[in-house]
Chains A and B, each alone.
Chain A
Amino acid sequence: MLDRPSPVIHLLKYLALCAYMVFLAFPMVWMLSTALKGPREVLSFHPTLIPHQPTLDNFRMAFGEQNLIQAALNSTQVSLATALFTVVIALPAAYALVRYQSVLRKIALGWILVSQVFPVILIIIPLFLILKGLHLLDSLPGLGVVYLVWSLPFVLWMLQTYVAAIPSELEEAAATDGAGRLRILFYVVMPLLVPGLLVAGLFAFISAWNEFFFALVVLQRPELSTLPLTLARFVGTEGNVRLGPLAAASLLATLPSLVFFAALQGRLTSGLLAGGVKG
């Protein structure tokens, strides 16, 4: 029988947890506070968390000056497509890497690691020329393909640890009962991999949602701008930033990620534990 922790330790744990939550939430709260402040209050020498004269002007400015809704839709399309296709492609590959021990496996794992070494700046011009040759420049599908290629190695690496955590005896039992390889993959392995797939999908989604540089280079037409590109237009040169509208627009940019996380939180936690402990 386990000893119950003392109430003091219990209290300290909760205090530490609260402090950590405040630490994590503070930037978001400050962003909301800034978004609700007028231009004079934003530059106050003694800033306060609660705005003295709350205003929605920053939201009006942000939405009036930039097409944030269109940018959010573009970001959503690209991010969802990236998450979906990345997981669809990575899943069978991860399964094959784990279950089929061959020379190809080592080569593939080496390729995955090497692919993470190249800095973006080194590949950006060749990538630009390839996309141009494929007529994929200045298009959201083109950007999606770039994100897919960029996320795939890490997602593949991540998923194979989840696959490895599934006992092969389960598959052997299914095979004994007459199930084929694809049937085993879809009906035995996949249900157990759901948390891992969510984690991988979430990683690909967030990576695409926040990405700036590829979008900057690939997209030309204003109507195709993603949110990071649109937010950057509130920042000028020489540290000249329009803080109020930027904070208002950033809130919009943050909300989908928060909603996505909140919706998947339960499964995400179990997924992390499955990958981290059992693997």
Chain B
Amino acid sequence: MRIFVKPIWVGAAALSLVAAACGSSTSGSTSATSTAPVSLTFSTYAFQPQTVAATKRIVADWNKAHENIQVQLVQVDPNSVHDKLVTQFQGNTAPDIIHDEAADLGGFARQGFLADLTPMLSTNLKNDVPKGIWESVTFNNKIVAAPTLLQTYNAFVNRAALSKAGITPPTLDKAWTWDQFAAAAKQLTGGDKFGLGWGLKSPTATVMSMSLNYSGKFFYDQSGKTVVKFDTPEQQVIKRIHDMAYNDRSLDTVSLSQSGADVIPGFFAGKYAMIVGGNYIRQNMVEQAPPDFQWGMLPLLKGDTQTQNANPQTLSIAAQSTHKKEAMQFIEFFMQGQNLADVALGDWLAPTSSSAGKAVVTSSGGKNGWDVTAATTKDLALAPFQKLDNYPQWKSQIATPALQQYLGNKIDINTLGQKLITGWQTVNG
């Protein structure tokens, strides 16, 4: 037997040696000498071609102006940022500058993987972004990222359908309340057409964010312990959606089991007079709507307020980076008004800073919903759920299935509340 076992080890060892000889060392932070230029790696999950182009342009501009601090761009898959970072942090190979989102930063911040930017941030940048958005990237009183772009949930309307029904769309100064929105949906329903299509296959993020309209925070501190409450503020939005689907019959129940993108063809085909989706679906409207299709993006719906959750994309610096100061200089450059505006225009998301908001409106002429998008930033604030370690588990195992059951009319509102409350007790120990 030994003679036949040996080749396995010999082969494996030989292969390893060959592989080792061919292998190259990993890239990461370089320890530059005093004369060599500093080399920074910048990982980004930019995915839209225009955003990628804008990011490359920013990096090229920076490299041209800073011969001694060169930035190397590394594109990563948008849906695997967390997994990749986990191994990179553990292996001390993390990029210097990290593109991520606020909701993903908590664990990394608590483990000390992200540098504290607080003392390095310029006053200009600090003042350019609303306080509520900075809170979303602050952990233990340390700012661990610069917030860049934001998503909101907006209603989109078929202007021709509204005009035919004699409905005047709301303006930035006078946004629709949820009651007005429901009334319009009802008025626009008739025959085989629905007033509203809403892709709520994954309903939790939308419901949690929009419930802030009625101060529905879901998570509350009770003597130092986080508990879930499902009282009137939390019930408002989800109940209104349910009522539109099953009482008014103005919301197509089929669309509730579809994704946000799935309902767009029905919107273009006239099946839905209105849909609700992320602000980025304006890109679909511009690039994929029939040529004569007239659409509009509405200001954020209003409950007691128009507040939605701020979960911005972010730029952080790895604590293990040996060039934090230079990395911060690049982030400040990236966050400059026109630079951030160009990235926002590519991703069809709202820029976090007021200077970029103005630049976006100037560059776009305020068309294609950019006026509305730029105006939403002031209404965004941190929701408590975003910083809870066990929230992702509660969301996937408890909240999403329970909300799907409620939206499928399988359980009532009280049962939904029970599931959300006891589910949190289970996952949170």
Contacts and interface: CB of A to CB of B under 8 A. Distances in A.
Interface of A: 39-40, 42-46, 61, 65, 85, 88-89, 92-93, 95-96, 100, 102, 104, 124-125, 128-129, 132, 134-142, 144-145, 148, 181, 213, 216-217, 220-222, 229, 232-241
Contact of A125 (B47, B80, B87, B289): B87
Given A45-B266, A238-B151, A239-B259, A138 B19 contact: no
Contact of B16 (A40, A134, A216): A134
Nearest to B81: A237
Given A148-B15, A216-B84, A181 B27 contact: no
Interface stretch (B5-13, B179-187, B415-423): B5-13
Interface of B: 1, 3-5, 7-8, 11-12, 15-16, 18-20, 22-27, 45, 47-49, 52, 74-75, 77-80, 83-84, 86-87, 90-91, 93, 151, 202, 259-261, 264-266, 268-269, 271, 278, 280, 284, 287-290
B74 A134 contact: no
Contacts of A137: 23, 25-26, 91, 93
Contacts of B20: 134-136, 141
Given A96-B1, A139-B24, A237-B79, 20 more contacts: A39-B287, A40-B287, A89-B8, A124-B87, A125-B87, A125-B90, A128-B90, A129-B90, A134-B16, A136-B20, A137-B91, A139-B19, A141-B20, A148-B12, A216-B80, A217-B84, A233-B77, A235-B77, A238-B151, A239-B260
B22 A139 contact: yes
A145 B202 CA distance: 38
A138 B289 CA distance: 42
Nearest to A89: B11
B19 A144 contact: yes
Nearest to B15: A85
Interface majority SS on A: helix, strand, loop or mixed?
A: helix
Given A45-B266, A236-B47, A40 B77 contact: no
B266 A141 contact: no
Given A89-B12, A124-B87, A145-B16, A45 B26 contact: no
Contacts of B87: 124-125, 128, 217
A37 B323 CA distance: 47
Q: Which 3 A-B pairs have the closest CB atoms?
A: A96-B4, A141-B19, A45-B269
Nearest to B24: A139
Given A45-B269, A144-B19, A232 B77 contact: yes
A233 B84 contact: no
A144 B22 CA distance: 11
Nearest to B89: A125
